Structure 1
Amino acid sequence: MNIIPPADSASEPRPTKRVLPSTLVVIFIILAFALGYLSAQPVKKEIKGNSQVTGTHLPAPAYLTKDIDFQLFWQVWDYVHRNAFGRPLTDTKLFYGALAGMVAGLEDPYSIFMNPELAQEFNNELEGTFDGIGAEIGIRNNKLVIVAPLASTPADRAGLKAGDRIVAIDGIDTSGMAVDYAVSLIRGQRGTPVKLIVLSNGDTEPKEITIVRDKITIQTVQSELKKTANGQTVAYIKVVHFSQDTDQKFRAAWQQLKARGAGAIILDLRNNPGGFLDQAIALASHWVEQDVVVKEKMPEQDYQDYISVGPGDLSDIPTVVLVNGGSASASEIVTGALQDWQLATIVGEKTFGKGSVQDLQEFSDGSAVKLTIAKWFTPKEHSIDLTGLIPDIEVVRTREDIEADRDPQLDRAMELLQESD
């Protein structure tokens, strides 16, 4: 079905962006990132607050109207305007609601329509600054769950963990709730509280957690120098999220630690929900030299290979990658590439399992659609969607470990690098 607008209100798209979402890639913050970005071209005429929206009798192609009588739309539009309680009505809000409903009809948790306000917040979040609680959410087994809490955010300090199920938000049951609606309930002005009912893995009873929203600024790359028991110097680099400058910051961190004697790397992708596809490819390209990093598959099309952009400068550096259930999307692309090409040892727990690609189409009124357009696969054509990646060495970090500030996954990585010396 297609809406044929009046001739003077035709819309054109702006350059699109390829996002692989969070898992939605959406998060509280709406990191619901997504994974990556593409480009194209849109346009759209602004619809004024209470302007009259009218139909047109332009003929539509038969395939667009085969099963649809589009006059029903205008009948409902007219009925709502004449009878809805709670006037005055805002045509723009109704129009955007209709567009959101159309995309929601796909029943895909990662495909959403965003009005200009939501689209701006989404872009702010991708750039790393926003108001919220600092956690990504997604759908797993038809349940609303925490994909990953961001380090040192209100969500992290409140004890939210990857895999926690969100049962209710401010008293509203989340059964059947779409991710974007959940995001709208959790998002809010800094300093205001949001009350969550959360059921953690292994628990039989949910618990109530009140979290005060704050300004979230993501430091996408964190690094420090570590030493093994036998004195080997290791570069520990944690990538929190794949933003526009992640690879640049990673390179700078590695060069600084290398200059201080680092001869091995621990790449920590735990609780990294994803981000930009090109940044994931650029990061993996430090190990993968002139070979496939990830494969993309659209319906009824062959695989499209995304090749390393080089330089493969770390291919001979002993590397351990840390992952857990909060490692999703772009994080899984990097992990899958290094695992398939046997360029690193993967340590930790099974990853989240987000293997879909979203394209972000922006329009000139500021609204946007994030649409699932493909699935992605590792270089050896392994699908991780809903199943996740299995580490080479499985090490569980329990809630008790976290509370006691123990990190057996990091400890095992250090042991492996010591053994490789």
Structure 2
Amino acid sequence: MFWEAWDALKQNYVDRSELTDKQLFYGALRGLVAAVDDPYTVFMDPQVTKEFEDDLSGTFEGIGAEIGIKEDILTIVAPLPGMPAEKAGLKAGDKIYAINGTSTAGLNTDEAVRRIRGPKGTQVTLSIFRQGFKAIQDFTITRDSIVVKSVNAKLREDGIYIIEISNFNNDTLNLFNSAVRDVISKNPKGIILDLRNNPGGYLDTAIELASEWIEGGVVVSEKYSDQRLDEHLSRGRARLKDFATVVLVNQGSASASEIVAGALQDYKKATIVGKKTFGKGSVQTMQNLSDGSSIKITVAKWLTPKGRSISDEGIKPDIEVELTEEDYNKDNDPQIDKALEILLTK
């Protein structure tokens, strides 16, 4: 039947002279993988595979925003700080209904990324709807070189140390370890770990970070279809275990950032403040194919140490604090204000 369909297209399609065997073959693989009906299980051709690898290295050309599928709609998970998407006014939770006038219906995240990215200096137009809009609005964004430094840390004058982590990428662990050493040397009154708009990244890095608060026990478990559990244990350093800590999260906090927040919440090592997280709690493995293509396959779901499903529930904050459109426009941050209140009154 497959070859019947192949031959029918090659013989009858109106522009059949423009069809290539590679085009049909890659299309067939995309359809095969899409048949599992999971937005995070995808086929990636060699070009998309390279772009995915560039993501993890922290350097690429585009608009600087993490996207995902939420309720079957392409959604901005997190605009990266200081990048073109944020400068153009995009926000976590924005729904993308079209890219350069072409509908995003049925588009998987990797194909959407490919369409949104492009050479530095070129433009892409996203048709956006968000809560409070009366109609879809177009945002035209000029692409740029995106170099993501995933950790920023500073000691405030009031003695609170803030560690902002935008992604769990190749550079995260070294930068975070530098921040930990700085915390120990300066002995702050408390720590704010800001994971807002952090779309995730490497599992191992998330476990390493959580282990700086958690001395022993499970950090996260992987639950497979046969109900088997693989438990990932703390690495046991726990250099930050005695520092009062608040973790900030929002609807743009996903994947590895949810692992860290969920683990610290379950062990009562931190107070979680903000909004309920994105709920991207599935485990993907990457199968490389012989021509440079690859398949990302969802193989398991993540569970917090107490067995909560991140995919099903997300991470609910201990203290819910909204950051409104008005707050955003006035450069107010009630979430960090609440974190400071908690730490400075301990």
The reply to whether TM is greater than 0.5 is: yes
Residue 44 of structure 1 aligns with which residue? none
**Partner of residue 255 from structure 2, selected from 315, 323, 329:** 329
1:235–1:254: 8 Å Cα contact kept in structure 2?
no
Alignment pair present for 1:338 and 2:264: yes
Structure 1 position 269 matched with structure 2 position 201 = no
CA contact (8 A) 2:125 2:140 kept: yes
**One-letter amino acid of the structure 2 residue matched with residue 325 of structure 1:** Q
| Runs (5+) with no aligned partner, structure 2 | none
| Secondary structure of residue in 1 paired with 2:220 | strand
Counterpart of 1:323, as a letter, is V
Does 2:136 align with 1:206?
Answer: yes
CA distance in 1 between counterparts of 2:260 and 2:96 reads: 28
Contact residue 296 and residue 375 of structure 1 kept, 8 A: yes
Alignment check: 8 A CA contact 1:280 1:334 kept: yes
Match of 1:146 among 76, 82, 89: 76
For the Cα contact (< 8 Å) 1:199–1:206, is it kept in 2?
Answer: yes
- CA deviations 1:343-376 (Å, max 9, x no partner) are 0011111111111111111123211100111111
Does the residue aligned with 2:125 lie in a helix, a strand or coil?
A: strand
1:360 is paired with a residue whose SS is: strand
Q: Does 1:389 align with 2:315?
A: yes
Report the structure, 1 or 2, having the larger helix content: 2
Q: Where do 4+ consecutive residues of structure 1 move more than 4 Å?
A: none
Q: TM-score, normalised by structure 1?
A: 0.79
Q: Offset of 1:386 from its aligned partner?
A: 4.4
Which has the higher relative contact order, 1 or 2, with Cα contacts under 8 A spaced 6 or more apart? 1
1:184 paired residue number: 114
Tell me whether 1:79 sits opposite 2:5 in the alignment: no
Residue 244 of structure 1 aligns with which residue? 170
Cα distance change of structure 1 residues 177 and 316 upon mapping to structure 2, 3 Å threshold:
same
User: Cα deviations across residues 69-95 of structure 1 (Å, max 9, x unaligned)?
Assistant: xxx222222333334425254322221
- Cα deviations across residues 373-407 of structure 1 (Å, max 9, x unaligned)? 11111100011214321111111111221221111
Unmatched runs of 5 consecutive residues or more in structure 1? 1-71
Segment drifting more, 92-101 vs 235-244? 92-101
Map 1:55-70 onto structure 2 (within 5 A): none
C-alpha distance in structure 2 between counterparts of 1:223 and 1:81, whole Å: 58
- Structure 2-normalised TM-score? 0.95
The worse-fitting range, judged by mean Cα deviation, of 355-364 and 217-226 is: 355-364
Q: Distance in 1 between matches of 2:264 and 2:176?
A: 16
1:110-131 per-position Cα deviation (integer Å, ceiling 9, x unaligned): 1111111110110001110111
CA deviation after TM superposition for structure 1 residue 176, in Å: 3.2
CA distance in 2, matches of 1:321, 1:365: 43
Q: Distance in 2 between matches of 1:309 and 1:91?
A: 49
Q: What is residue 17 of structure 1 aligned with on the other side?
A: none
Q: Superposed, which structure 2 residues align to 1:357-396 within 5 Å?
A: 357-396=283-322
Q: 1:278 aligns with which of 184, 204, 209?
A: 204
Percent identity reads 52
1:293 paired residue number: 219
CA contact (8 A) 1:137 1:145 kept: yes
Cα RMSD, aligned residues only: 1.5
- For 2:292, what is the secondary structure of its paired residue? coil
